Amino acid sequence: MPSLFNKNLSENPNRRCMKKLLSLICMLLTVTTLFAQSYSMRAGKCNTRSNYCPKWSVFHETTYNFGGIAINSVNADVIVMCNRSYMASIRFGVNYLTFPKISAAGAPVEFNFMIGRGAWLFEAGLGVDYLDVYKNYNTSSTSNPNNVSWLAATGRIGVRYERLNGVFFRADYNPHVSLMNQNQIEPISKSAFLHMISVGIGWTFDN
C-alpha cells in the first residue's frame, strides 16, 4: 500500500502538467478560431464593414467580337454571397446602341461566382442577354427589320478587380450562343456561337 501511494504521488505532477498543457492548447485553439472568424485574408475584418464584403457595383461594359458586334451596357452587380475565399453575385444591366445603323435596347442578366482572397478574383458566370432591335436606319437591308428580338445564352470566364469604395474592373472571355432570331440580325447571322470578350469598369460600394 505505501508503495502504491507513493507511486500515485509521483504521477500527480505529471498529470498536472498534462492538464495545464491541454488547457493551454484549448485556449490557443479557441483564440485562433475566434481570430480566424473575425479576420478575412481576402478582405480584412469581417466585422469592419468598410474592409470586408462589397455590397454592389455599378459599371459600364463593352462586349466585342472583332467582327462588327459591340454590345455596350450599363450594369449593377449585387453581391448575394460572401466568404473569405469566394463571392457570388447577380448582374442586371441595360444594353444600348449595339450595332451600326441600328438602334437596340436590351437587358443582360447573369450569375457570377468569384474565387480569391484579395482584390483580384477569378470569376466564372452564366446568363442570358436580350436585345430588341427597334429601329433599322439602313432601309435597303432586309436582314435587319425593325422590332426583332434576339436572345442569347452567355458564359463568362476571366478576372475581376474589386474592393470596397474603389475601382471595379473586369476582363473576360464572354461567348454568346444565339437562342432566338439569329438569322434576322445581320451582324450575328454568320454563326450561332459568337466568340466575344468583354471589359467593364466602374465603382464598388459597401451599402
pLDDT in tens, 92-151: 999 987 777 777 889 999 999 999 877 889 999 999 999 888 776 666 666 666 678 889
- Position 15 scores a pLDDT of 61
Residues 128 and 36 in one domain: no
Kindly report the pTM of this predicted structure.
0.70
- What's the domain count of the chain? 2
Q: CATH number, domain at 169?
A: 2.40.160.20
The three cell numbers of residue 2 are: 505505501
Q: Do 61 and 200 touch, CB atoms closer than 8 A?
A: yes
SS3 category, 172: strand
- The DSSP bridge pattern shows strands 193-194 and 44-45 to be unpaired
Residues 66 and 157 in one domain: yes
Q: How far is CA 186 from CA 22, 68, 94, 99, 165, in A?
A: 74, 10, 21, 9, 41
Residues 143 and 181 in one domain: yes
The three cell numbers of residue 11 are: 504521477
Whole-number Å distance between alpha carbons of 207 and 167: 15
Which uninterrupted H or E stretch holds 24? helix 2-38
Residues 15 and 86 in one domain: no
Residues 96 and 14 in one domain: no
Whole-number Å distance between alpha carbons of 122 and 103: 34
| Host domain of residue 180 | 49-205
Residues 84 and 26 in one domain: no
Residues 82 and 163 in one domain: yes
Residues 97 and 11 in one domain: no
Residues 107 and 184 in one domain: yes
Q: How far is CA 58 from CA 39, 61, 88, 163, in A?
A: 27, 10, 16, 13
Q: What would the pLDDT profile of 13-55 be if each residue is shown by its tens digit? A: 556 655 665 565 566 555 544 444 444 434 444 444 444 677 8
Residues 108 and 150 in one domain: yes
Q: How far is CA 192 from CA 15, 79, 146, 152, 197, in A?
A: 75, 31, 21, 9, 16
Residues 140 and 56 in one domain: yes
- Position 173 scores a pLDDT of 94
Beta-carbon count within 10 A of 32 CB: 10
Residues 157 and 133 in one domain: yes
